[in-house]
Structure 1
Amino acid sequence: MMLSKQKKNQNVNHNQRRLLISINVLGSAGPIRFVVNEEELVEAVIGTTLKSYAREGRLPLLGSDNSAFFLYCPHLGSDAALSPWDKIGVHGARNFVLCKKPHATNETADDGSGNSTSGTSSIPRRGSSGSWKSWFNLNLKISSH
């Protein structure tokens, strides 16, 4: 009887590789670690990360909107975020960085005639410039003294 259970488990696990991944959330202390199927989509991994983050009561509060976040893999050497439709195991990486997407601001200006024109502000907002790497490097410099 034990032999039949072992065979059944081997068949199920043979097709699915599982990975222990570590996700650092910018602005939070310590990574979140959990096991995922290598065929899991990046979007689902972001959702699982947000749920685990909230369950643990971490700060700052992030919310639960998967589409408001990017998942990066610093070991790939690319500054581009992973596509939400990629499989998490496709790059062979196990360490990732989760950060919030920058908010695009469209301000409305009144030209005095009652007509409003929309455009973007020429003054950069604090904390909205650059990539996640520049923000990460800035925080390391501040916290290392």
Structure 2
Amino acid sequence: MPNPKSYRKGKLTEKSSSFHGEKPSKTAATLRRPKTDPELLSFKNLGLSAPSLDGRPKMTKLLFNVTIQGSLGPVQVLMSPDMTVADLVAATVRQYLKEARRPILPTADPSAFDLHYSQFSLESLNEDEKLIALGSRNFFLCPRKSEDNDDLLASSSSSSCSTQAKENAKSSSGFSWFKFIEFRI
């Protein structure tokens, strides 16, 4: 059995010989290279369509993050940019129910929900607007408060964010903050 120290010395001299200008052995010259596929980086394999007129590839799918009011994390939905806001709401509700997330939605009807840019946005997005024109991929979904689904949402502890803001605006007067200040003399 060879001595481990002598074995290491032999390997070191073989490796360092290439650095001193000696010709490499024949085994190094005949290394086989793997065959490459010229279509490896084609647009078909990346899931992209052919380049547009400006040279950039056209997007075929977009990943959207939609946070539903009361849920812990966003629902991720992969959709075509040509779809509308109504399609995104329907796909988000369908995915939320499929993943069996909590809290349970009061209804599975997508028309009972409004899509907003954020939880602080009071205006909901137009249902006929294209997703590519929105300019964002992160949205907030909250239940719509209307006369049709009041009884469906009554069991839910949270109400629509836009209706809460409207009710607060109606009930508050210009000096409503005075009632919180204690006057002492």
Using the size of structure 1 for normalisation, the TM-score is 0.62
- Is 1:55 the counterpart of 2:94? The answer is no
Does 2:106 match 1:70?
no
Does the residue aligned with 1:81 lie in a helix, a strand or coil?
coil
Shift in Å, 1:25: 0.2
Q: Secondary structure at the match of 1:57?
A: coil
- Shift of residue 129, structure 1, vs aligned partner: 7.3
**Of 77, 102, 114, the match for 1:34:** 77
Q: May I ask how many residue pairs the two structures share in their alignment?
A: 114
* Structure 2 letter corresponding to 1:97: F
Aligned pairs for 1:1-145 within 5 A: 3=39, 6=42, 8=44, 10-11=48-49, 14-62=57-105, 63-74=107-118, 79-104=122-147, 128=159, 131=162, 134=165
Q: 1:20 is paired with a residue of what secondary structure? A: strand
CA displacement 1:23-74 (0-9 Å, x = unmatched): 1100111111122222211111111101110111112222321111100012
| Residues 99 and 132 in structure 1, CA contact (< 8 A), matched pair in contact too | no
Given that 2:62 and 2:81 are in contact with CA atoms closer than 8 Å, whether structure 1 keeps it comes out as: yes
Quick one: which amino acid aligns to residue 136 of structure 2?
A
Higher relative contact order (CA 8 A, sep 6+): 1
Consecutive unaligned residues in structure 2, runs of 5 or more: 1-36, 52-56, 149-156, 166-185
Q: Which has the higher strand share?
A: 1
Q: 1:68·1:101 contact (CA, 8 Å) conserved in 2?
A: yes
Identity of aligned residues (%): 28
Are residues 132 and 30 of structure 1, via their aligned partners in 2, closer, same or farther at CA, if it must alter by over 3 Å? farther
Alpha-carbon distance change, 88 to 99 in structure 1, aligned in 2, over 3 angstroms? same
CA RMSD of aligned residues (A): 3.3
Read off the aligned partner of 1:84 and give its amino acid letter.
Answer: E
Give CA deviations for 1:68-120 in whole Å, capped at 9, x if unaligned. Answer: 11000129x85211111111121211110001101327xxxxxxxxxxxxxxx
The answer for unaligned runs of 5 or more in structure 1 is 106-125, 135-145
**What is residue 139 of structure 1 aligned with on the other side?**
none
- Counterpart of 1:11, as a letter, is S
- What TM-score does the superposition give when structure 2 sets the normalisation length? 0.50
Secondary structure in 1 aligned to 2:91? Answer: helix
Determine the C-alpha separation between the residues in 2 that align with 1:127 and 1:82.
20
